[in-house]
Amino acid sequence: MIQYLVILLDDTSVSFCHYQNDKKERNLMPFKTLKAGIVYAMKENLNIQFVYPNYSLPKEYLEVIDCIDHTDIKPASLGDEADVVVMDGINQVHNANDNDFKQGISYVLRLSKHELLEEIANVSALLNKVERLNVVITDVETFTDADFERYSEVLRMLSEEVEKLYVAGKVVQLNLLTDRMMLDKMNNCGAGDTSITLAPDGKFYVCPVFYLTDEDDGMGALHTSIGDVKHGLDIKNPKLYKLNHAPLCRRCDAYQCKRCIWLNRKMTYEVNTPSHEQCVMAHLERNASRDLLNAIRNHGQFLPEQEEIKEITYLDPFDVRKEWD
């Protein structure tokens, strides 16, 4: 059931996920479309998430946005009044000072694998400054076996920092590690299932990138709408976006995995089937979360209501699919 409406305010709105938005030409959502989107969300009882470009909106836009409860997702340059602040690349971390980080705000750090592997000290340092950090790797499709080994080491280093902070009394959330410790079921992105996106053209999309992309992967154009504000939703084969129609994912316990619909479609041509790269990375995170949970519990009681994360011998569920039958 759809619960969230993401409103992409401009073609240049910041990316907060795995996709890259290289659009340079502004295309602000028409005011009429914005109001229609808000009315649609109110009628359908949806939570609204506004995704902002890197410039200030006209006064009338801000006034109508403030008329309804919502979440603001903004680039770091406009982060003073945001609920979620997106830092796009390690340079934005380098250029920030401690006063730029506010309590009660979630921070998204979008990084290439090179930035993450080479700048791990700077990423770790962020954990001392924020309450919540989501690290999003922007080139998952390029990971190799050697990268997996280095990623495992990065997770170990991040775990050591999180453990130190927890022992010192500071509670910090890091999506790659702490989410799995606190979950007892899948917490995927939900695109096409629990969330949809309204773009500046007045049409609905599974998520922002299906509006922004110009790609054609041989299976068809990826720029595909699923309805509009005037006529409503028209999702073809909606069951494919649901967890219970994902044969591997529904049996998996890497609950923190986002199961990104865009990466699924881009890398396997199926919206409900993750790639080998996604699965291995998710299970490396899962195993690191298991080690972190045990390490913190060695210092005293911690999350007593949560069951122990079981030890496993695989990194890609596809390798053990026959054992699950």
Please list the alpha-helical segments (H only) found in the chain: 31-44, 59-65, 90-94, 113-118, 120-126, 145-167, 178-182, 208-212, 261-268, 276-297, 321-324
- Candidates 296, 298, 308; CA nearest to 253 is 308
Q: Residue 223 has what pLDDT?
A: 87
Average pLDDT value for the chain: 94
**Residue 50 clears pLDDT 70, i.e. is over it:** yes
> What Å distances lie between residue 86 and 72, 131, 229, CA to CA?
11, 14, 27
**Residue with structure tokens 């967890």?**
243
Residues 7 and 211: their CA atoms lie apart, in Å, by: 12
Confidence band for 325, pLDDT divided at 50, 70 and 90 = low
321/142: higher pLDDT: 142
Mean pLDDT of the region 152-160: 98
Report whether pLDDT(322) > 80. no
pLDDT at position 320 is 85
- At 220, the pLDDT band (50, 70, 90 cuts) reads low
The predicted-structure confidence for 255-281, as pLDDT tens digits, reads as follows 999 999 999 999 999 999 999 999 999
pLDDT at 219: 65
CA nearest neighbour of 202 among 227, 219, 168: 227
The residue-averaged pLDDT of 124-134 equals 96
pLDDT at residue 218 is higher than 70 = no
Domains of the chain by start residue, with CATH: 4-182 (3.80.30)
Residue 216 pLDDT > 90: no
Looking at 180-189, 214-223, 249-258, 280-289, which range is the least confident one? 214-223
Q: Label residue 214 by pLDDT band (50, 70, 90).
A: confident
Q: 237-254: per-residue pLDDT in tens?
A: 899 999 999 988 999 999
8, 7, 11, 5: which is closest to 213 by C-alpha?
11
Determine contact, residues 158/123, Cβ cutoff 8 Å. Answer: yes
Q: For residue 221, is pLDDT > 90? A: no
Helix axes 276-297, 261-268, angle to 10 degrees: 140
Q: How many CB atoms lie within 10 A of CB 236?
A: 7
Instruction: Return the residue matching tokens 């008329």.
Output: 67
One-letter amino acid for residue 205 of the chain:
Y
Tens of pLDDT, residues 160-171: 999 999 999 999
Count of Cβ atoms closer than 10 Å to residue 78 Cβ: 18
Dig out the tokens for 223 from the structure: 């720029």
Amino acid letter for position 290: R
Q: Binning pLDDT at 50, 70 and 90, where does residue 80 land?
A: confident
